[in-house]
Amino acid sequence: MTNVEVKPSPIEGMGVFAARPFRAGQRIRRVNIVREITDGAPIREDAGERIEHCGYPDGKVVLWGFPDRHVNHRCDPNAYGLYDGSDIYVVARRDIAAGEEITFDYNVNTSGGSSWPCNCGAERCCGESVGEFFTLPKEHQREYRPLLANWFVRRYHHQHQVEALDAEL
Ligand SMILES: C[S@@+](CC[C@H](N)C(=O)[O-])C[C@H]1O[C@@H](n2cnc3c(N)ncnc32)[C@H](O)[C@@H]1O
Ligand SMILES: [Zn+2]
């Protein structure tokens, strides 16, 4: 875990911080996926598992482990999740300096999620994280288009939402 460290964040609770500089496009680390959450193996709050530490790739629910579960949301993030087979990598979206908090926009590759007030402090903060890619401001959607996972594009093609976005590019 030498690439990152977990400590209190000005955004919320604990956050993940760069322990060294990263270049744009660089893979920072492979996400620690603990397990898939299913009806037969639900979240175990008694064992410290939390629903807010889950991701939702392609209709599945997967529990993220330490330290990745502490990545906070920012409306102008410096990193994103790259889906590569069954792995997810934390990848730098731009150059990241040592000590900078590593953030994702949780709305990338997300639809039908929950919304809550955002405290990210970005100049372009939307005021809330809505849990929905397709209601983000159009310029954010355009900017994030290259970050969409193949499974997400496939899943939402039938609603013509990705085509509509591509037509505008
Ligand atoms: C995966 S956790 C992120 C790590 C969390 N800060 C911690 O201490 O474990 C996701 C939760 O963190 C909080 N959070 C993340 N980003 C936030 C933001 N920009 N503004 C407010 N709360 C945020 C929300 O409560 C969200 O449900
Ligand atoms: Zn924000």
Delimit the domains of the chain by residue range: 4-168
Distance CA 13, CA 93 (A): 23
Which tens digits make up the pLDDT trace of 111-128? 999 999 999 999 999 999
Which residue among 54, 61, 73, 76 is best mutated to probe the pocket of ligand 1, counting the most ligand atoms within 8 A of its Cβ? 73
Tell whether ligand 1 has an atom less than 6 A from the beta carbon of residue 73: yes
Residue ranges in the chain assigned as alpha helix (H): 138-144, 150-157, 161-168
The answer, yes or no, to whether residue 159 has pLDDT greater than 70, is: no
Q: How many CB atoms lie within 10 A of CB 160?
A: 10
Which residue among 5, 7, 12 is best mutated to probe the pocket of ligand 1, counting the most ligand atoms within 8 A of its Cβ? 12
Residues 6+ apart with CB under 8 A from 50: 43, 69
Q: What is the pTM of this model?
A: 0.93
Looking at the domain covering 4-168, what would its CATH class be?
Answer: mainly beta
Tell whether ligand 1 has an atom less than 6 A from the beta carbon of residue 118: yes
